[in-house]
Structure 1
């Protein structure tokens, strides 16, 4: 379903940790502990819009987005879950899944540009990524 020679955008690779691979998508954790912020990237090269995917890929993308969203809600119990595919800074198709809380630093505004990112300690990011990867693996099968 995905391209074997897939290349992750360098900016996403720099800003994120790799959580796991689903059948279509690579799941990333943005290195900002102020929000549980996951990024879903279909492993298809040269795609910038959802409509650029074929129908089977679009269906799989939405299914994996649903599974990721359910996992985020289960683990973090956010007040609101923000999901967006913008691509203004990184053109490679990617979908943000951000758990929002009424006491987060940006509430109720969008998260972009509100606060300087605060990076995870290595152990904290590893624990969180392992927990999410396990939960996603259980749900996707």
Structure 2
């Protein structure tokens, strides 16, 4: 049986901050937006409908919990949630905090501009605030 492995691009572009049960929750390293990824830890899954029904329910629950925590921590005007996967096929759900006037507002974050590295201490502080918010919800 194959073991779950994160796609190398997701590994490079984000850092793991929590295991939620089904999903590995990751924080994108791009400092332009507070941006999470929820990656179901299932081998070979590229689409939500490929998940077992209980996993589909867990994915929805975990994404919503992460989105609620991200919203509370950042005070975002809008939380964008999407699973696109045209480049990285492994199923992953983007959870992005958006603000009026942020990079490319109100347009999409995907493919816009050049990523700006988030300093490691900023990443760790944001990750801690998000996971603490999730623990208290």
**TM-score normalized by the length of structure 2:** 0.95
Q: Aligned partners of 1:71, 1:133: CA distance in 2, in Å?
A: 8
1:83 aligned to 2:87? no
Q: Aligned partners of 1:4, 1:122: CA distance in 2, in Å?
A: 32
Q: What stretches of structure 1 of length at least 5 have no aligned partner?
A: none
Task: Give the structure 2 partner of residue 73 of structure 1.
Answer: 71
Q: Aligned partners of 1:129, 1:69: CA distance in 2, in Å?
A: 13
Q: What stretches of structure 2 of length at least 5 have no aligned partner?
A: none
Matches within 5 A, 1:1-141: 5-139=3-137
Q: Aligned partners of 1:97, 1:53: CA distance in 2, in Å?
A: 19
Residues 126-135 or 84-93, more deviating: 126-135
CA apart distance, 1:4: 8.8
CA RMSD after TM alignment: 1.4
**TM-score normalized by the length of structure 1:** 0.92
Aligned residues: 137
